[in-house]
Chains A and B, each alone.
Chain A
Amino acid sequence: MRITEQQPGVSKRYIDQTSVSKRMDGRKITNTVFKTLFFMATLVALLVLGILFYRILSQGLGFLSADFFQNFASRFPEKAGIKAALVGSLWLMAVVAPVSMFLGIGTAIYLEEYAKKNRVNDFIRMNISNLAGVPSVVFGLLGLTIFVRALALGNSILAAGFTMSLLILPVIIVAAQEAIRAVPQHVREASYGMGATKWQTITRVVLPSAIPGILTGSILALSRAIGETAPLIVIGVPVIIHFLPTGVMDTFTALPMQIYDWAKRPQADFQQVASAGIIVLMAFLLLMNSIAVLIRNKFQKRY
């Protein structure tokens, strides 16, 4: 042993430096192997996304024209357009966004700021997470039973919007809860310490800090709602519509419904029309996700 100096607190040496050196190469190789393995795993995801993009763009770009946005659905692929579906999806969002955000943020504020820690509230908290895992087709059945039939809303924008709101509600609640929980307790104490009420503390201290996180989570949840198909099928949303809705009680169709219809048609040209529709839908999603990222970066507060 070359190293013989006694260091304070070390009375006897247990680690043999020569064997450490001997094993060093093997350890480094293992490290490299796993690093490569995990990099490959990442590549698989990227590769799939790349192929998807390539296939859809190569098929769909040809059909993506001004007419495509101005035409209604048609028996002829070259005349088929996405107008009704695009406007329908926008209408759907106009219902889903306010309803789901109001209910979701309200629930999160109640659970985090007002509710006491007891078994009932723990039970509620746990089940909201469970609700997030319920398949969307089940929410479709719920919407069919309650909104379409019991409340007799029919296959209207309102019925579909309520159903979609319920579907994404748990996601918004959980995201908003996390954003609210991330506001440090000591700034709440500062506010209460000056005689502020709970509501004043929430509106003036908690929400201004939590809003970026809440909005990011909500937008991501909304982008899920815009791509969902199953609940719309269950509710009975039609595919071929030759007029634009004029109010929330009108029937409508949405982007994923339209794409699903085109994709299942036998004519090869309709496959390409479907791809064009997917491009529009993906552009929509990318736009919403970028807004979420922008909000997150712009309003990040430090403590």
Chain B
Amino acid sequence: MVQLMNRTDNETKATVSPMEAPVREAAKPVVYDTKQLNLWYGSHHALKNIDLPIRENEVTAIIGPSGCGKSTYIKTLNRMVELVDGVRTSGEILYRGRNIFDAKYSVEELRTRVGMVFQKPNPFPKSIYDNIAYGPRIHGIKNKKILDEIVEQSLRGAAIWDEVKDRLNTNAYSLSGGQQQRICIARALAIEPDVILMDEPTSALDPISTLKVEELVQELKENYSIIIVTHNMQQAARISDKTAFFLNGEVIEFDDTDKIFQNPADQRTEDYISGRFG
């Protein structure tokens, strides 16, 4: 049996021609295409010539040591980085073919298509129901019945419905940290996004809550494109399809996660994932 499997494995490998990789990639359209992106905080050059094509229905992990620009990059994708004073950018990020820096592209519209989950669970000091209904409400949905359905569907989507269905009117702060983070994921789902950005979503959570969020990410990728920043390399290896390694504001390597972790092309990537620095 083992032998058989090995053989099949070898055969498969043997048939993989160098040509096949691009063909397989072409099957999934690009959601986010970053071209020659540069970003400065005042005089600090935080992102340097980033080129990164991110594909549909995949989990793309962004790894790298602290201060390498990975959080800055993910916040640039929905222009949250502009909340900081003194940010300048050059280059372009195409979201579904449209440059998000285009003056005609409203940032509110972009953020309606691109949900975000933050490092620290940040529910509003409102009831669980009002947290989830926040997004639909700001986009004009007032009908109670429709809101009820969105809330249930989003909470189910974030695998937390069974835990909170009997206390939708209690304050979201009464939940545990892990539950709060899944509420935040449900809240992001409620705006029916196309892409979900996750900025170290499990860094403040315990191992069991982390596992739940990771399982959730695997399920969500069926319907959404997910970009996740993580400090945890095992997490990147476990849940992502593609991995980008950032260092000092540059993308050192971007490839299939298996390739990055088993056979990195760049010495610096290998040093980082094997724990020699970072």
List, sorted by A's number, 22 A–B pairs whose CB atoms are closer than 8 Å: A116-B85, A117-B85, A186-B118, A188-B83, A189-B118, A190-B118, A190-B184, A190-B187, A192-B111, A193-B78, A193-B111, A194-B138, A194-B187, A195-B110, A195-B138, A195-B139, A197-B108, A197-B138, A205-B124, A301-B125, A302-B173, A303-B173
- Judged by a CB distance under 8 angstroms, whether B272 is at the interface is no
- Judged by a CB distance under 8 angstroms, whether B229 is at the interface is no
Indicate if the CB atoms of B85 and A193 lie closer than 8 Å: no
Q: How far is the CA of A195 from the CA of B137 in the complex (A)?
A: 11
Indicate if the CB atoms of A195 and B109 lie closer than 8 Å: yes
Of B80, B118, B124, chain A has the most CB atoms within 10 Å of the CB of B124
Tell me which residues from 96 to 140 in chain B have a Cβ below 8 Å from any Cβ of chain A.
108-112, 115-116, 118, 120, 122-125, 134-135, 137-139
Q: How far is the CA of A194 from the CA of B111 in the complex (A)?
A: 6
From residue A191, how far is it (CB to closest CB) to chain B in Å?
7
Q: How far is the CA of A188 from the CA of B111 in the complex (A)?
A: 14
Interface residues as binary, A10-23 with B (CB distance below 8 Å gives 1, 0 otherwise): 00000000000000
Indicate if the CB atoms of A195 and B122 lie closer than 8 Å: no
Q: How far is the CA of A197 from the CA of B112 in the complex (A)?
A: 11
- CB within 8 Å for A189 and B83 given contacts A195-B108, A197-B108, A209-B125: yes
Indicate if the CB atoms of B188 and A194 lie closer than 8 Å: yes
From residue B170, how far is it (CB to closest CB) to chain A in Å?
14
**Which residues from chain B contact A187 at a C-beta distance below 8 Å?**
122, 124-125
Q: How far is the CA of A192 from the CA of B78 in the complex (A)?
A: 10
Q: How far is the CA of A191 from the CA of B85 in the complex (A)?
A: 18
Q: Which 9 pairs of residues, A with B, have the shortest CB-CB distance?
A: A195-B112, A195-B111, A193-B116, A186-B122, A194-B135, A195-B108, A196-B138, A190-B122, A301-B125
Q: How far is the CA of A147 from the CA of B108 in the complex (A)?
A: 44
Indicate if the CB atoms of B138 and A303 lie closer than 8 Å: no
What interface size band does chain B fall in?
Answer: 20 to 34
Q: How far is the CA of A70 from the CA of B198 in the complex (A)?
A: 68
What interface size band does chain A fall in?
Answer: 20 to 34
> Which DSSP category, helix, strand, loop or mixed, fits chain A's interface?
helix
From residue B6, how far is it (CB to closest CB) to chain A in Å?
47
From residue A228, how far is it (CB to closest CB) to chain B in Å?
37
Indicate if the CB atoms of B125 and A194 lie closer than 8 Å: no
**Which residues from chain B contact A192 at a C-beta distance below 8 Å?**
80, 83, 111
By beta carbon, the residue of chain B nearest A197 is B108
Q: How far is the CA of A301 from the CA of B172 in the complex (A)?
A: 12
Q: How far is the CA of A205 from the CA of B137 in the complex (A)?
A: 13
**Which residues from chain B contact A188 at a C-beta distance below 8 Å?**
83
- Judged by a CB distance under 8 angstroms, whether B191 is at the interface is yes
By beta carbon, the residue of chain A nearest B79 is A192
**Which residues from chain A contact B78 at a C-beta distance below 8 Å?**
193
- Judged by a CB distance under 8 angstroms, whether A145 is at the interface is no
Indicate if the CB atoms of B138 and A204 lie closer than 8 Å: yes
Q: How far is the CA of A27 from the CA of B157 in the complex (A)?
A: 63
From residue B156, how far is it (CB to closest CB) to chain A in Å?
19
Indicate if the CB atoms of B115 and A193 lie closer than 8 Å: yes
If A189-B80, A189-B83, A194-B112 are given as contacts, then 13 extra A-B residue pairs at C-beta distance below 8 Å, sorted by A number, are A117-B85, A187-B122, A187-B125, A188-B83, A189-B122, A190-B187, A195-B110, A195-B111, A195-B191, A197-B138, A205-B124, A209-B125, A303-B125
